[in-house]
Amino acid sequence: MDNQAEIPVEPAKETFSEPSLTQLPPDDVAAIDELGKTYQAFRAELAKIIVGQDDVIEKLAIALFARGHALLMGVPGLAKTLLVSSVAQTFNLSFNRIQFTPDLMPADITGTDIIQETTGGKREFEFVQGPVFANLLLADEINRAPAKTQSAMLEAMQENKVTVLGKTYTLKPPFFVLATQNPIEQEGTYPLPEAQLDRFMFLIEVEYPTAAEEKRIARETTGAAKQALTKLIDGDKIIAFQQLVRRVPVPDHLYDYAVEIVRKTRPGQAESPQWIKDTVGWGAGPRAVQYLILGAKARAALRGNYMASIEDLEAVAPAVLNHRVITNFAAESQGMTSKKIVQKLISEMKDK
């Protein structure tokens, strides 16, 4: 009987409390000034490794300080993986990388119970953590795994928890998922489920560098020297800044704008333009409104402003809405992509 596996009593669930704002200046204005300086130092550090991609870096910082996840889309070779690992080094975060492949299983992400032999000769189940247990998780080429494996991250991204064989394990904050995705037209890719796409605050498109940037890349990355990155802040300071961002004031008309533009993406709403009803199958949900407001708050704070503006909201709107607007066959036949639809909608809102 001693050699039979025994199932132990489930251990108490580990919980983590968020730090207070005591490590920031007590005055919110001074705290935002400190956040702005940290952001500028962050950009300067990444510039040692990453050439160009200023908009991508800003969107990543906004998502991180707004406590959201981000999906980077671009062809291979645009330094997406290098950018994410550099972010982890600069912010002194624990970092894990998962290379998604068609044979990847959910347990390869979350971890699983394995049988371990104790000193007394008995065998017991012991949970071995998967790579999801990190502050910053890079899900590389996430759309190269089938939906079953992709969905293993849904609970982690939304609840900061994972459930394995009926047991729930809490992920230590801050927890931030940065996923990279190849264009869906490439061979061996699977479209992400809509429910999982909605968990990402931003869809960030990584474009080819300019000719001047490409020349810099060739000059600076083919030599022997490689600059080391300075660790700026730790996880506790990031959480404190995340709390600060949520305290940034938002004028009431920005809430009206966020609600109006999201509702107009839905073809079933009376206020939707006819061209939306003709080209959109599904529009954005309420989570888009939340991320528009949080993104505007974070962008304002990172730029040293003490209140969110309409410019902040318009700047983050494409990254929030592009992956939440699902086109229909009529749109595809006309060459109307989600990106073009969102751009047209924002333009119409400006012209009002």
Length, in residues, of the chain: 352
Tokens of 208: 């080819």
Tokens of 229: 């990155």
Task: Please report, in tens digits, the pLDDT of each residue of the chain (352 residues total).
Answer: 344 333 333 444 444 444 444 477 778 889 999 999 999 999 998 888 888 888 999 999 999 999 999 999 887 777 788 888 888 888 888 899 998 888 888 888 888 878 777 777 777 777 888 899 999 999 888 888 877 787 778 888 888 888 887 888 888 889 999 988 877 555 566 777 788 888 999 999 888 888 988 888 888 777 666 777 888 888 889 999 999 999 999 999 999 999 999 999 999 888 889 999 999 988 999 999 999 999 999 999 999 999 999 999 999 999 999 999 998 898 888 888 999 999 999 998 887 6
Tokens of 175: 């927890």
67: left (phi over 0), alpha (psi -120 to 50) or beta: left
**pLDDT, position 129:** 86
For residue range 128-168, list pLDDT tens digits in order.
888 999 999 998 888 888 777 877 788 888 888 888 878 88
Domain 19-247 shares a fold with domain 249-352: no
Tokens of 194: 């809509």
**pLDDT, position 14:** 44
Beta strands 136-140 and 95-99 are: parallel
CA distance linking residue 284 with residue 72, whole number of Å: 19
Domain ranges of the chain: 19-247, 249-352
Fold of 249-352: Helicase, Ruva Protein; domain 3 (1.10.8)
CATH 3.90.1170.50 given to domain 19-247? no
